Amino acid sequence: MLRNRLSRGGGRMQRPFSSPATSQGPSRIRSAQWCSKAAASDAPAVSMRAMVDARTVACKTTEPTGRTDKGIIDTQPPRGTRDFFPEDMRLRNWLFGEFAAVSSSFGFEQFDAPVLESEELFVRKAGEEITDQLYNFEDKGQRRVALRPELTPSLARLVLQRGRTLPLPAKWFAIGQCWRYERMTRGRRREHYQWNMDIVGVAGVEAEAELLAAIVLFFERVGLSKDDVGIKVSSRKVLQSVLVQYGIPPESFARVCVIVDKLDKLPREKVEEELRVLGVPPSTIDGVLSALSIRSLEELSRLLGPDSEAVADLSRLFQLAEGYGYKDWLVFDPSVVRGLAYYTGIVFEGFDREGKLRAICGGGRYDRLLGAFGGDNAPMAGFGFGDAVIVELLKEKGKLPAPPHRVDDVVVPLDMALRPAASGIAARLRRAGRSVDLVLENKKMKWAFKHAEKLNASRLVLVGASEWERGKVVVKDLAKFQQEEVPVEDLI
Ligand code: HAM
């Protein structure tokens, strides 16, 4: 028997992608739970099974974690991870379908890699949060391994594996589970799925412009507008130029970026302190932080001079964005540097205009990652887009769909002797490409009707003795409320 943490009174029953249990039709819902604690007591989304579990075990739990004195296991998944009930999977499949559809519409091909990778792929020395958050351990063969916290190093590994045989440019996408031992906030979890699109082999900002176009198309497809979301854009070359102006050695660049990225999470004094510890003089710190408060390309051009690569890249990117028609979605913001050490050029981050949530997505150019792995560098740019924040946002905006479970036909044998006949009918319909729920137990007609309604079936196919003797079945069209006898050979 299983135990549920609800029984301990705290009610940590969080659902990842939940739609109302009785969702009918593709309507948009407002109250679905995704992963927020606030929604944990939202009764309609708690499945019947979970409620029964909770009730049956209510008085049997005695320990805060692990097994109880009766040896009952905890029915909740590990903290920060999610179960996906069928209704959650419907929503997840919808979301991943959108990710995949956008990627395909840009001509990208899908790849995947193992969730378990060699630890060295993710250990970098720039002080990134992601390294501290690694789920890493030694396997039974004494190899240091880690659950991937992101997909980019795996992509780099695959690109290196193919080496010169990989036709460039390569445009690849992936949707994979990632693991980070994070402090949990709304939309941030210890396990999440990330949609990535990456372009290998294109040195110009045309690559970034294409990637941003894909993100905007995705937003539009799920019903978000430029008033709901925006994408902050900058270039790491801005910070790099400022550091060069102040004579800071290039080796410090990645570390400075990682520290500066904390500006929206930590008090300014804390960031200044970290920069001081790194050896950045106070006058440089002031210069860096004031450069990051610039809000126009004209101002940036005045600061960095007319030959600045950062200004040229950003101007070109905005020109291209105008051509694509998504310029109004972009916001130039040099304080966006991103927390990952490997970015080398344009960087960007999707955000909600109300500022309620953490970054929706993020990416940029990383032309030296292959080199860091001992290979020949190649220009690369891409983004990662998590599944959790976007669902929180869609929920907030009342735009989260509730995809229904549905089948085309429900096939019902009207007596035991007709089971083989009904199985044959189901097989025939399935071969014709229809989805069929075959009723496997003896059930009354009333039940069959309700069942078909619950499954949003379009037809009920009744296999009854008298019709069967005449080589026919009864087909009820549930939308039109019509029924007819159909010869088996005509049934599709
Ligand atoms: P990242 O900014 O670390 O970049 O993550 C990208 C996105 O993944 C975030 O904006 C967020 O949507 C989601 N995400 C990250 N961590 C979590 C978490 N703990 N819980 C929920 N969602 C999360 C990267 O990972 C880069 N590798 C992206 C990239 C691809 N750059 C180039 N290509």
**What's the CA-to-centroid distance between 409 and ligand 1, angstroms?**
41
Name the residue among 383, 377, 342, 381 with its Cα closest to residue 160: 377
Between the CA of 304 and the centroid of ligand 1 the distance, in Å, is 30
User: Which of 131, 132, 150 maximizes ligand 1 atoms within 8 Å of its Cβ, making it the mutation to test the pocket?
Assistant: 150
Ligand 1 in reach of 388 Cβ (< 6 A): yes
Q: In this predicted structure, what is the pLDDT of residue 127? A: 87
The answer to whether the CB of 196 is under 6 A from ligand 1 is yes
165 phi and psi angles, rounded to 5 deg: -75, -10
Span from the CA of 73 to the centroid of ligand 1 (angstroms): 33
Please state the atom number of ligand 1 nearest to the C-alpha of residue 360. 12
Atom of ligand 1 nearest to the CA of 153: 27
Q: Which residue has the tokens 């900058």?
A: 234
Q: Checking phi first, is residue 45 left (phi over 0); if not, alpha (psi -120 to 50) or beta?
A: alpha
Nearest CA residue ID for atom 21, ligand 1: 188
Asked whether 389 lines ligand 1 (CB < 6 A), one says yes
Distance CA 148, CA 136 (A): 9
Q: Which helix (H) or strand (E) holds 231?
A: strand 229-235
Contacts of 293 (CB under 8 A, 6+ apart): 334, 335
Q: How far is the CA of 290 from the centre of ligand 1 (A)?
A: 27
DSSP label of 358: S
Q: Is the peptide bond before 169 cis (omega within 30 degrees of 0)?
A: yes
What gap in Å lies between CA 3 and CA 72, rounded to an integer? 6
Nearest CA to ligand 1 atom 2: 362
User: What is the distance between the alpha carbons of residues 141 and 329, in angstroms, rounded to a whole number?
Assistant: 50
Bridge partners, residue 2, by sequence: 73
What number does the ligand 1 atom closest to the CA of 190 have?
A: 19
Tell me if 194 is assigned to a ligand binding site. Answer: yes
Other C-beta atoms within 10 Å of 129: how many? 16
Ligand 1 centre distance from Cα of residue 390 (Å): 12
Closest CA to 221 of 97, 327, 112: 97
Q: With a 6 A CB cut-off, is 152 part of the ligand 1 pocket?
A: yes
Per-residue pLDDT, 16: 61
What DSSP element (H or E) covers 145? Answer: strand 144-147
In sequence order, what E strands does 265-408 have? Answer: 330-332, 346-352, 361-365, 380-386, 400-401
Q: Find, among 252, 243, 263, 280, the residue nearest to 338 by Cα.
A: 263
Q: Nearest C-alpha to atom 9 of ligand 1 is from which residue?
A: 361
- Ligand 1 centre distance from Cα of residue 198 (Å): 13
Q: Which of 326, 388, 395, 333 is nearest to 361 (CA)?
A: 388
**φ, ψ for residue 162 (rounded to 5)?**
-75, -30
Q: Which of 17, 34, 185, 192 to mutate to test the pocket of ligand 1 (most atoms within 8 A of CB)?
A: 192
Quickly tell me which residue has 């001992």 as its tokens. Answer: 374
Give, for ligand 1, the residue of 108, 182, 194 to mutate: max count of ligand atoms closer than 8 Å to Cβ. 194
**371 alpha carbon – ligand 1 mean position (Å):** 22
**Structure confidence at residue 212 (pLDDT):** 98
Give the Å distance between the CA of 384 and the centre of ligand 1.
5
Write out pLDDT tens, residues 66-117: 565 668 899 999 999 999 999 999 999 999 999 999 999 999 999 999 999 9
What integer pLDDT is reported at residue 48 of this predicted model?
Answer: 36
Task: Yes or no: say if 372 and 380 are a contact pair by the CB < 8 Å rule.
Answer: no
| Ligand 1 pocket member 410 (CB < 6 A) | no
- Cα(194) to centroid(ligand 1), Å: 7
**How many residues are recorded in the chain?**
492
Ligand 1 atom closest to the CA of 194, numbered from 1: 8
pLDDT at 126: 86
Q: What is the mean pLDDT of each run of 10 residues along the chain (492 residues)?
A: 37 47 36 38 36 35 52 92 97 98 98 98 91 96 98 98 97 98 91 98 98 98 98 95 89 90 90 92 90 93 92 98 98 93 97 96 98 97 98 97 97 96 98 98 94 97 97 97 97 94
Ligand 1 neighbourhood includes 382 CB (under 6 angstroms): yes
Q: Is residue 241 lining ligand 1, measured as CB closer than 6 Å? A: no
